[in-house]
Structure 1
């Protein structure tokens, strides 16, 4: 498949545009603009009102004014480097045009005395006299029509000027073809969106402030094009994966029942619903690709275990992957009682397994004796072979890229994939990152989880905090103390974990306080964690290595030092480490006063709610999409026009539209399908184009 001919002019070299030479083409690359198409999607971010006035008396300086003037006397600078002044008069008053470092002969030609000119620029008052320094535009009266009354202002990079960008954008607009419509006609009519060519022209010629807002019809349309193209790509990937034959795994329910009977409580409605959705996917002949999204403490582990049990009941095997060894060991600990009750052999494989022990595990895996394997990415190694892998559960997806997801899928030729995340993601972002997956959400807390009381405490009250910690420890309670950084640096006065550890040990006594941080060798880290889990140490001083998944039901106090420098989602994850047992739990957010407004907003949001989804929506509003999941590693697409924070509702529309289109026209051969192919080429959705090519 090759690019449709109608798009050739938009994908030519930039230097083919009038007014763009090799040097300015290099400057444009600084804006990510390498082809005429990119200029069409380089939208102005603001505009300057250049409405014609009779006189500068009609405006209040300092502001931009556009007036016709008669040119008066020229006053060259008295000293070198001084201003060159030209007296001018509009319909009502006199003022001056001022130039610095300008050549007199050039100004004489540009503004001949006695002639009329249209000037537009910023009017300011200096020493009681109105003046316009370096007018933006100087035109002959009959060229006035060339000046838009509302002039767009473009983003710039080194080596570019507004004039150059506007001229290049104008030249690119001249090449914008009239393309067939790819948006569903009913949707376009309902939203009142213009056709593509009209939309592109409109965004480059705003008539007023409203045209620059994300809600303007032309901008909404172009944003929708991007979101829709992205969702078509994800839907094609999903459709292709669904064509990939899976192995139907139908459970008998026997092992699941044994596991559930061993629990002191019944699963929540949300857990039962998620298990039913997963079981239906596993029973179907198509491969499952499901995301299990649950807030901190919503009981994802039980759902994952029941899914793994289905794989074993059906005569196959399951694997559970965790991003770190600490987490893998923890999954092993939490799954072990369930596996024992169900009669499933469970084992752990990490990078630490060596020699004979490792060989024995691999043999038991290949023969099918091990029903469920828990592991780190060591499971990806070449010599790890399953007898019959049916289900892969991946914990904390954002640590594994899409590529790794596919690699794991390849281990069991047709293994179903269940991805779990404890990071509640706002719907618009979930659709952008996981639009190719089906989603199950756990939105209830299982019984036995107590709400966590959250309080804000100034760092100045450190001594009070330490003394109340001493009482709590004496009563047999356990606490986490989270520090922001590991090594002391002169620039950053954070209490490093080492120093805080020494301080608390002196205050609370030897053997009471443990320490884990990122610089420790894994074996030491695991040993320190194990002592805390066993209750030998009462207080664990840690950097954020404990953020995800650590489970110590007896720990009921969480102190987060310098909480204001953590992100909302991170704070929510950390707080989720307590409140896992029956004891009333507390989370102390210690901050360094005075708090900046954003820090205060984060900490108060956290104090007011435990709902991870509400927190994530607030986080999105405050930080923006890229920061929220760490764009570099999240695989979050970069949109040129669409704004995920302000246009999130469009994403859901785009997803249902894309899925509906592909259900009706899987090969995109209908007239609308053909138009969508043009859209995919226009927006560089190469992955989609390859998928259609393959399909």
Structure 2
């Protein structure tokens, strides 16, 4: 029996209104209901107060000593107390705003209460009270599940409904894991695990159940990724690039600097993929300034030698202009025609660019999301590179991948992704990592200062500029806001233009016309402007080696990844560089971000700690990243289980009889139900 096909209103007591109420929780079928797991449990097992720690939640049973006493405050709020003899210890029980209980409690009565234990005062702040013997027998000694509910669904009703679902359909829960995996990891049966997750007898049963179901959840997810990866390799025809290794080496030899060992390694991985007949789908990650652009240029050159066009898509026009310029400088001497394509081009410029692309005269196209518009027709697209790929939605990425006949795809990011997330979110990709910085990259000293030191910061900026260096000053807003008390770029620009005169100060923000932005960046790049006041439009990719100072105002309003990206705009030349974080954080998380930034400049360590601070959903942005919404698995806590599940999934899908062995059939059926249409069943 397939429980995912039985509607939830098959249960007694679920009419049309209840059906709609449950739908708000994503519960449509019996399978959905059984998989609506509790997020915590109320522990009504009796506690030993001699072993309980201060502020622990406890449940006790004792005899009432004396009559309850009630004090009223403002005729609405109350505080009721009574003495309770718990195993010879006189405990003071306190209820806030529950004066109605006074008439139910009498001296000599046996009472059960749950709440926070104050060990110093021998008191309990009670939030649950069981007065009658019937109530006590019903709840005492149990772990009661607590579910996500809506205002129209009461907790006790949902508990009863889930229990009824297990009573009627529990025997129909089908096992999905092969016996060999269950035995290998000593996992309890699926039906038993699901029941224990809702109604554990104790901690041991709950841990066994969670362990079993977390492994299943991660295995099924990784199985989908491994199967997609396999069919991409075996069934998706790609371009087998043919180019001369000697010509690629000649290009590398003429670079102004030698490649690092890490750059060499990832270049070999990428070129090997390009030569293979399947479509490349690779993620290249590396810290700010690790040299990803040069790697991209080498791949684009190899693609050009193979006779194909290449496309490089970036998130902002400033970055598109910068990449078009830098890539052209590297490739133009070798006969490669690099054409920019952005939304701000004039109609004439756009027509010319589109014509060159369609006729194949444009060997490399660099642009923003304009690259995926319907009017852009490529003659022979062989390689697609997406820089800062996490800024593009899944649909945008897919659209560019589909331009042309299955071009190779290289995703790049300077926001290093912890291994856990990389193998989860981008599990269908191969991952290359540049974990070595080029020689000559200067360490960046980072300081956190309060706003009252602003005059000293201005003096420091002036001193650096007078010695021939340049500075960035980053602000979170463009103009003054009544809602947020933050420094804004316009106001800071006006202040610094006066305070730093005759040092030239420029202003850059997203609302400026493209031509204005381009002129400001040109002036800054050529040192005609010494201080650039900007919003986060300079966060990614902007490269001015002479800049040695990065000041970030209201730094606690930025995320760790943004702060690290901004800091990476300096330290690109020969001089020592400084990053100053100006902030008066109002939250503990804000303080922690400032502390982390001053302790390390390692982007991988920062991303690891950022993930721990914010959780995976906020770390990447669930909508953009495609991060799965796991019901039980925690990507911080269950790293080891994830890696085991990934290994097992890869082993399964690569077995020649994976789709035909009877014991693996439930897994194959799962893949089919998840719309992996290319899966063939015998």
Matched with 1:171 is 164
Residue equivalent to 1:468: 460
Whether the 8 Å contact between 1:88 and 1:97 is mirrored in structure 2 is no
Q: Relative to structure 1, is the Cα distance of residues 671 and 94 closer, same or farther in structure 2, using a 3 angstrom cutoff? A: same
Q: Helix, strand or coil: the match of 2:561?
A: helix
Identify which of 24, 36, 41 aligns with 2:35.
Answer: 41
Residue 424 of structure 1: SS of its match in structure 2?
Answer: coil
**1:202 aligned residue (184, 196, 199):** 196
Structure 2 counterpart SS, 1:43: coil
Residue 679 (structure 2) pairs with residue 686 (structure 1): no
Query: Taking structure 1 as the reference length, what is the TM-score of the superposition?
Result: 0.85
Assess if the C-alpha contact under 8 Å between 1:192 and 1:217 holds in 2.
no
* Alpha-carbon shift at residue 53 of structure 1 (Å): 9.3
Say if 1:565 and 1:129 are closer, same or farther in 2 by CA, change over 3 A: closer
2:71 alignment partner in structure 1: none
Structure 1 residue 400 corresponds to structure 2 residue 366: no
Instruction: Identify the match of residue 293 of structure 2 among 287, 293, 301.
Output: 301
Q: Secondary structure at the match of 2:529?
A: coil
2:512 partner SS: coil
1:565 corresponds, among 557, 575, 600, to 557
Deviation for aligned residue 1:551: 1.1
> Where in structure 2 are the equivalents of 1:450-465 lying within 5 Å?
450-465=442-457
Q: How far does residue 672 in structure 1 lie from its aligned partner after superposition?
A: 3.8
Task: Check 1:573–1:80 CA distance in 2 against 1; reply closer, same or farther (3 A cut).
Answer: closer
2:488 counterpart (471, 482, 496): 496
Write the distance in 2 (CA, Å) between the matches of 1:430 and 1:283. Answer: 24
Q: Bigger shift: 128-137 or 354-363?
A: 128-137
Distance 2:161 2:464 in 1: 69
Say if 2:187 is the partner of 1:193: yes
Query: 1:271–1:299: 8 Å Cα contact kept in structure 2?
Result: yes
What does 1:79-228 align with in structure 2 at a 5 Å threshold? 120-122=112-114, 135-136=129-130, 138=132, 140=134, 144=137, 148-174=141-167, 175-177=169-171, 181-183=175-177, 185=179, 187-209=181-203, 216-228=207-219
Residue pair 1:117, 1:140 contacting (<8 A) in 2 also? no
Aligned counterparts of 1:62 and 1:274: Cα–Cα separation in 2: 52
Aligned counterparts of 1:525 and 1:59: Cα–Cα separation in 2: 61
- Within the alignment, does 1:628 sit opposite 2:619 as a pair? yes
- Name the CA distance, whole Å, in 2 between partners of 1:470 and 1:649: 51
Structure 1 139/675 Cα, relative in aligned 2: closer, same or farther at 3 Å? farther
2:417 corresponds in structure 1 to: 425
Q: CA separation of 1:336/1:199 partners in 2, compared to 1, >3 Å: closer, same or farther?
A: same
Q: Deviations over 1:593-636 (max 9, x none)?
A: x6643223222222222211111110011111111012222221
- 8 A contact 2:389–2:412 mirrored in 1: yes
Cα gap change, 1:53/1:255 in structure 2, threshold over 3 Å: closer, same or farther?
closer
Separation in 2, partners of 1:124, 1:572: 42
Q: Is 1:391 aligned to residue 383 of structure 2?
A: yes
Do the aligned partners of residues 671 and 118 (structure 1) sit closer, same or farther apart at CA in structure 2, a change above 3 Å counting?
farther
Q: 1:676 is paired with a residue of what secondary structure?
A: helix
Query: Shift of residue 121 of structure 1?
Result: 4.1
Q: Is the 8 A contact 2:113 2:126 kept in 1?
A: yes
Kindly indicate whether residue 671 of structure 2 is the aligned counterpart of residue 676 of structure 1.
Answer: no
Contact 1:48 1:64 in 2 (8 A): no
Q: Which moved more, 1:85-94 or 1:44-53?
A: 85-94
User: In the alignment, which of 526, 543, 546 is matched to residue 538 of structure 2?
Assistant: 546
TM-score, normalised to structure 2's length?
A: 0.86
Q: Deviations over 1:279-327 (max 9, x none)?
A: 1111111111111111111100111111111111112221111122111
Matched, 1:602 2:593: yes
Distance 1:383 1:121, change over 3 A: same
**Contact residue 246 and residue 287 of structure 1 kept, 8 A:** yes
- How far 1:340 moved relative to its partner? 2.4
Q: Deviations over 1:385-440 (max 9, x none)?
A: 22221111111111222322222222121211111111101111112221111111
Query: 1:235 maps to which residue?
Result: 226
CA displacement 1:40-73 (0-9 Å, x = unmatched): 2333333333346999xx9999976575999x99
Output one character per residue of 1:641-683: Cα deviation in whole Å (capped at 9) or x when no partner: 11122212322222222222111158733224312145558xx
The residue number in structure 1 matching 2:651 is 660
Q: Residue 396 of structure 2 aligns to a residue in which SS?
A: helix
Aligned partners of 1:665 and 1:673 also within 8 Å: no
1:555 to 524, 532, 547: 547
Cα shift at 1:453: 1.3
Q: CA deviation at 1:561?
A: 1.0
Q: Structure 1 stretches of 5 or more lacking a match?
A: 1-5, 74-78
Equivalent residue of 1:394, what SS?
strand
Pairs within 5 Å for 1:509-520: 509=501, 512-520=504-512
Structure 1 residues 304, 94: CA separation in 2 closer, same or farther (over 3 Å shift)? closer
Q: Which residue of 1 aligns with 2:263?
A: 271
Is 245-254 or 534-543 further displaced after alignment?
A: 245-254
SS of the residue aligned with 1:673? helix
The SS at the match of 1:309 is helix
* 1:568-588 C-alpha deviation (Å, 9 max, x unpaired): 111111111111111111111
Structure with more contact order per residue of length (Cα contacts < 8 Å, sep ≥ 6):
1
Q: Distance in 2 between matches of 1:544 and 1:670?
A: 55
Alpha-carbon spacing, 1:134–1:47, altered in 2? closer, same or farther (3 Å) = closer
Q: Could you tell me whether the CA contact under 8 Å between 1:514 and 1:539 is conserved in 2?
A: yes
Do the aligned residues in 1 keep the contact of 2:8 with 2:33 (CA within 8 Å)?
no
In structure 1, how many angstroms separate the alpha carbons of the residues matched to 2:604 and 2:91?
A: 62
In structure 2, what is the Cα distance between the partners aligned to 1:80 and 1:532? 65
Q: Please tell me whether the aligned partners of residues 19 and 167 of structure 1 are also in contact (alpha carbons under 8 angstroms).
A: no
Task: Tell me if 1:7 matches 2:13.
Answer: no
**Partner Cα distance (1:361, 1:388) in 2:** 15
Q: Which runs of 5+ in 2 are unaligned?
A: 68-74
Greater CA drift, 577-586 or 356-365: 356-365
Matching residue within 376, 380, 383 for 2:372: 380
Given that residues 292 and 439 in structure 1 are in contact (C-alpha distance below 8 angstroms), is that contact kept between their aligned partners in structure 2?
A: yes
Shift of 1:506: 0.5
How many residues align structurally? 666
1:336: which partner in 2?
328
User: Aligned equivalents of 2:357 and 2:541: distance in 1?
Assistant: 26
The answer to whether the 8 Å contact 1:117/1:139 transfers is: no
Comparing 464-473 and 375-384, the one that deviates more? 375-384
Mapped to 2, the partners of 1:264 and 1:90 lie a distance apart of 80
Secondary structure of the residue aligned to 2:679 is helix
Structure-2 change in CA distance of 1:64 and 1:278 (3 Å): closer
